[in-house]
Structures are given as C-alpha cells and as structure tokens.
Amino acid sequence: MNPESLEQIIADLGDCQRCRLSQKRNRIVFGDGDPRADLFVIGEAPGEEEDLDGIPFVGRAGKELNKWLKAIHLSREEIYITNTVKCRPPNNRDPMVGETAACRPFLVRQISAIQPKVILTLGSPAIKTMLPDIGGITKVHGEVHHFEGIPLVPTFHPAAVLRSRNIRLPQVVNDLRVLVQILYGRPS
C-alpha cells in the first residue's frame, strides 16, 4: 500500500482547532520542500515571519539553517522541513507538551509520506517530540537515534547557535558530519 500524500494530510489537518495555538495564528505552517527528500528536518515551532508567510524557517534562524545546508551540499529545495507544531506559540515560546501532542500525529504522517533516509531534529522540543524519553539536546546532540527505523540525528536549533555562536557552531559542525555520513555514506 502506498503511503498517503502530503495533500491528503493537509486536507485532514484542515483548519485545525486541536489546541489553543489555533486561536491566535495567522496561518498553519505545515511544511515545505521536496516530497521525496532524503533529509527530513524538524524544528520547534513557527516564528512570527513563518506565521505570516506560512513557510517554515524563513527568518534569521532559517537563514542560518540555509548556511548549514549549503555546507553539506544541499539546498532548501532538496530537503523537507517542518516543525513540531504547525501554529506559532505566543511570544515565540517553546511549544507545550499538549500542543506538540496535538500535532505529533500529523508530523508522523508527514515522515511516513516523505519516507526520508534520515531525520535531523533542531533543538530540545524537536527531539523530545520525536523521542520523549530522551535527554536534552546538550546531552544527545550528534548521536544517532532511530524513529520508526529511520536514523535520527539531533542538533541545536539555529536560533540557539545565533545566540551563542562560538559555543554551539563547532558542535553543530560535528553533528552535521554524522548526518552526512548517514546521507552519503562518507565523511564530510
């Protein structure tokens, strides 16, 4: 049986009212990118610009992420990217457990539709949404875990790197080397 399409998942999501984040959003930010991508990227939540545009990672953190992708010879058009929640939390706070729980089934369905070779999670909320019993990002970044048989590599969120570049960027570089090894079967 073929997996469902992203269009089918979007139709099922509809004008989602499954959690209180729907009350103040401008747009649902479903996801963006290649529906046959090898790399599936999961961030935390849409920010203000994403809420206005309806596309994930279009602000400062998105520009930083684009640099990371370029460094591993990928473009935004070659990956699929989404967030743990589809609506912007107030004041860009981290999503709450009930909010991620409401969106998680759609996220899992997106992964199933894309069938990526590897998943990259950005930040603690993303890794904890996918693997709830795992430690925080500072302990697990760069380690290879698995979600439903798919290798999953957690790293820091680009916004965290922008706040403490000298500390986090070298760690992200090492994490991306792990990702490249899985994607291409060779060191970066």
Q: In order of start, what are the domains of the chain with their CATH numbers?
A: 6-184 (3.40.470.10)
Quick check: 68 and 159 in contact, CB under 8 A?
Answer: no
Strands 118-122 and 39-43: parallel
Q: What are 21's two structure tokens?
A: 């984040």
| pLDDT for residue 1 | 62
- The phi-psi region of residue 43 (left if phi > 0; otherwise alpha if psi is between -120 and 50; otherwise beta) is beta
| pLDDT for residue 167 | 82
Which helix (H) or strand (E) segment holds residue 66: the answer is: helix 60-71
pLDDT in tens, the chain (188 residues): 667 999 999 999 999 999 999 999 999 999 999 999 999 999 999 999 999 999 999 999 999 999 999 999 999 999 999 999 999 999 989 999 999 999 999 999 999 999 999 999 999 999 999 999 998 899 999 999 999 999 999 999 999 999 998 889 999 999 999 999 999 986 55
| pLDDT for residue 187 | 57
| pLDDT for residue 81 | 98
Contacts (Cβ under 8 Å, ≥6 apart) of 81: 31, 32, 33, 40, 41, 42, 43, 56, 57, 65
